[in-house]
A and B are shown apart, each in its own frame.
Chain A
Amino acid sequence: MNNLALLLLLPVFGALLLAFVKKSGTAKSIALIFSVLTLALTVPFLVAFIPDASKQFEQNIPWIPSLGIHFHIGLDGISLPLVILTNGLVPLIILSTFGQQQKGGFYALMLFMQTGLLLVFTALDAFLFYVGWEIALIPIYFICGLWGGVNRIRVTLKFFIYTFSGSLLMLIAIIYLYTQVPTANYELTSFYELDLDEKTQRYIFWAFFVAFAIKMPLFPFHTWQPDTYVEAPMAGTMLLSGIMLKMGVYGLIRWLIPIAPLGVSQYGHLAMILAIIGIVYASIIAFQQQDLKRLIAYSSIAHVGLIAAGVFVWNVQGLQGAMIQMVNHGISVIGLFFVVEIVSRQFGSREMQHMGGIAKVAPRLAIVFLIIILGAIGLPLTNGFIGEFLLLMGVYQAGIWTAIFAGLTIILGAVYMLRMYQGVMLGDTNQKAGIFRDIAGSELLVFAILVALIVGIGVYPKPLLHLSEAAVSNLVEQVKIGY
């Protein structure tokens, strides 16, 4: 049952089937069935997973032997939470589109992208990692371009070229590393064993770092992100922010830092400073936004900045915080965007000034929105708390000032999130809010699941932390960064 390749292929089959479905209703149910099936097939992996530092469920098939390329996939404590996140969020995202009329092609692209993402998170061969990295990009480009807003053409092309340029740099680094491997392969372990001099590692660091920093995005590589999030259709935004940006963080942990530790000790501080600048900068901008989608886009930059800072301090607390916060951020951001979708569809606008007073007419939405926001700002007993706590504890070891600035994300986050809540939900009920329809049906189902996860992880995060604990502490022991 535990065939990882099958898990990866299942969404592709779904996508191929969906490509021929014209009717919206059928397409939705097929997409949902396939995504739930994929999620169900993930459960046996979770059950059989032994939470130690080893790679499990490995499959290694020669793919292009003449070039030393293997189809080598496997799971460990670092990749499993992200695989669960991917397979768990995709059904929710599909469910969140049930209020719209979408053809099969839309869902086909989504499922195709899911395979790309899973490939990124499970690949133990650098070539395979690159392939997954790129094939996750093509579907999201089309999703944004076909179903996006007015400026979609310019914005999505910018997004594509930005990320593609970054990944080309990474490709050069990967091929260069390959030429250094005596046994001529792209295996992750071979890359780990390389004994590169400091100068080379510096170049390798930058090539990988730029690719990952664009994807996350870190300041100052973030300029594509707010525009793309705003122009993309809501499901596309959810995929981008909920799952895709974790590709960058995962890349840092799995590829960049273990391969080029000397490069990191040289430039890790700089990366951390960039992350912290990003936190403060994005929070300030988020505070001034009227457009809800743009506000959440900037809040996402701030949150991912904290995660990146936690990764670069390279200690167990910071990394564990990053691992759990990646999952949390995925859950929260999808909830936030879904609320924005529901509200802005009924108001015909995303501007905060046009809204207000929804809480009176839509009490259910008001409650779930509040819980999601509390989760996003990290109130105790919600999911965000444990993640941010661990991250700050990790960052604190790098210095008190870094921790203070990084800690601003929580304070500023609370400010702009609560301001958003106030603007949308509270205040006077205007004409449009008077006829506001409360959430029901599939919307309620999505929110119920999200709220359950937010509270569940908030109250008892141990199982999730336990998954990655051994792998993370092993990694920190193996790879020493001399700051």
Chain B
Amino acid sequence: MSAIITLSLLAILVLYLGIFKLRNALLSVSLIGLMAALVFELRLWNEEAEPIFNGMVLFDKFSLAFSILIIFITGLILLLSKGYFDKISANIAEYYALIIFSLTGALLVVSFHNLSMLFIGIEIMSVALYILAGIRKKDLASNEASLKYFLMGAFSTGFLLFGIALLYGASASFDLTEIKNYVTTNSGQLPAMFYAGILFLIVGLAFKVGAAPFHFWTPDVYDGSPILVTTFMSTVVKTAAFAGFLRLFITCFDQLQSFWVPILLVMIIITLFIGNISALVQLSFKRMLAYSSISHAGYMLFAILNMGVQASGAMLVYAAAYSVASVLAFAVLIVVKRNRGSEHFEAFNGLGKSNPLMALVLTLSMLSLAGIPLTAGFIGKFMMFSEALSNLHIALVVLAAINAAIGIFYYFHVIINMYFREAEINDQISIDMNYKTVLFIAAALTLILGIYPDFLTHLI
């Protein structure tokens, strides 16, 4: 809990720093705050977890592991923000504050133990993002992204709320344990209202994680928002939403698998194919990453589908691998766009010659996203596939493997451009210290997770 309180106070503090024009202190104060939150989370690790605040939140290993992951990723993203927000606007304090507010919401989403907390968490997380997506006031694409995100987000929140209300109507409680008990005691004679509630919850959460057929907002919003905001959305927010999704279904609806597993199966298959096939034809690297994030949502849904003993671990590894690789890719994209003025694949031409190290880390990130061994992404995919196969979803895994092969086309597109094609102007791109740090940390983590993932696989 202290972490959530710390972060809320931190965001307000950052806003005050903005008022007093202490621009240079913003980044360091935010990072110190995040560090403090991280320490608070770590200190809870070995303690016995009980639902607290009348069963509102529960800081078990699951929630702590995901909290630590998203705080860490936010730290990396903030490191990238130095010199990034300044270019967009004069009032940069609000960016930091909004990102931290959104993170606070995300922390609630991964540690809720009461459906009202899930709703509040998602709202805190999303409202900050609606503003962040449209923060480039004069940019039409950014405005469009914000409006689309807001409309779609409000719409999906409606579904979510309706679903929660229906569950409450049936079980007379918002508490996860009580809903679970209700399911156990009334198994076989649950009212239709309850099933409708689950259905609405799936729709609402699928919106949030960007799974097909509720994914239509994702490409435009990811493409239109400033790159750093996109990074935050596609890593931290996505991870949190998935963790919340998994937590809800593992705790409450474990016994009703025969009802929702077929629905989820269809969703996964559509998500994989739509994400991958659309990513194939993109000319913009950023938009390609947006579609690839849809296809990754498909792989991550595997964990919810299976809910085995290792499902949470698999989700954690996958989310960590995907987030780290995405931060890496977006960081390089920011640098390239700043210097070459384009987000298209052509902007990466000749990077292998002019900036060999940067090209190398981006290659690592692409290999990880594509799921090649010795990178983190492979372990994630491997665990997801293992989970699915142990539940005998063989056809699903074969379809997923076809998609993994399709993925090679677009992930290798940028590798091919960097190494095998020449640039027109082949000047070296200079990168500052913060970016170097982030690239180094993310690349190292991708390799460490790929070679020795044991410390993460059975954490939860």
Contacts and interface: CB of A to CB of B under 8 A. Distances in A.
A411 interface: no
A293 interface: no
B454 interface: yes
B373 interface: yes
Nearest to B374: A135
Contacts of A175: 382, 385-386, 389, 397
Given A65-B454, A135-B374, A168 B401 contact: yes
A448 B234 CA distance: 59
B405 interface: yes
B98 interface: no
Nearest to A62: B454
B147 interface: no
A49 interface: no
B385 A172 contact: yes
A146 B404 contact: no
A67 B386 contact: yes
Contacts of B458: 66
B45 interface: no
Contacts of A5: none
A67 B408 CA distance: 26
A138 B374 CA distance: 11
A176 B398 CA distance: 12
Contacts of A66: 313, 454, 457-458
Contact of B372 (A138, A152, A157, A172): A138
A134 interface: yes
Contacts of B382: 67, 171, 175
Interface in A139-155: 142, 145-146, 152-153
A386 B416 CA distance: 44
B392 to A, nearest CB: 8
Interface stretch (A78-86, A158-166, A468-476): A158-166
B398 A160 contact: no
A178 interface: yes
B367 interface: yes
Contacts of A134: 372-373, 378
Contacts of A152: 420
Contacts of A179: 386, 389-390
A356 B401 CA distance: 50
Given A134-B372, A164-B405, A153 B394 contact: no
Contacts of B379: 64
Contacts of A67: 382-383, 386, 454, 457
A203 to B, nearest CB: 8
A164 B389 CA distance: 20
A142 B372 contact: no
Nearest to B416: A153
A168 B404 CA distance: 8
A131 interface: yes
Contacts of A161: 405, 408-409
Contact of A64 (B372, B385, B404, B454): B454
B453 interface: yes
A160 B367 contact: no
Of B385, B401, B419, B458, most buried by chain A (CB within 10 Å of CB) is B401
Contact of A172 (B367, B378, B394, B420): B394
Interface string B413-448: 000100111000000000000000000000000000
A157 B419 contact: no
B216 interface: no
B401 A172 contact: yes
Interface residues of A, number: 28
A145 B416 contact: yes
A160 B378 CA distance: 16
Interface string A50-81: 00000000000001111100000000000000
B412 interface: yes
B298 to A, nearest CB: 15
A176 B372 contact: no
Given A67-B386, A157-B409, A146 B419 contact: yes
Interface in B363-388: 367, 372-374, 378-379, 382-383, 385-386
Contacts of A146: 419-420
Contacts of B397: 172, 175
Contact of B401 (A138, A157, A160, A171): A171
A342 to B, nearest CB: 26
A145 B409 CA distance: 14
A160 B458 CA distance: 33
B274 to A, nearest CB: 20
Given A157-B409, A160-B408, A165-B405, A131 B419 contact: no
Nearest to B352: A146
Given A164-B405, A168-B404, A172-B385, A145 B419 contact: yes
Interface of B: 313, 367, 372-374, 378-379, 382-383, 385-386, 389-390, 394, 397-398, 401-402, 404-405, 408-409, 412, 416, 419-421, 452-454, 457-458
Given A153-B421, A164-B405, 16 more contacts: A63-B452, A63-B454, A64-B453, A66-B313, A131-B374, A135-B373, A138-B367, A145-B419, A168-B404, A169-B398, A169-B401, A171-B385, A172-B385, A172-B389, A175-B386, A176-B394
8 tightest A-B CB contacts, nearest first: A66-B458, A168-B401, A165-B405, A131-B373, A134-B373, A66-B457, A179-B390, A64-B454
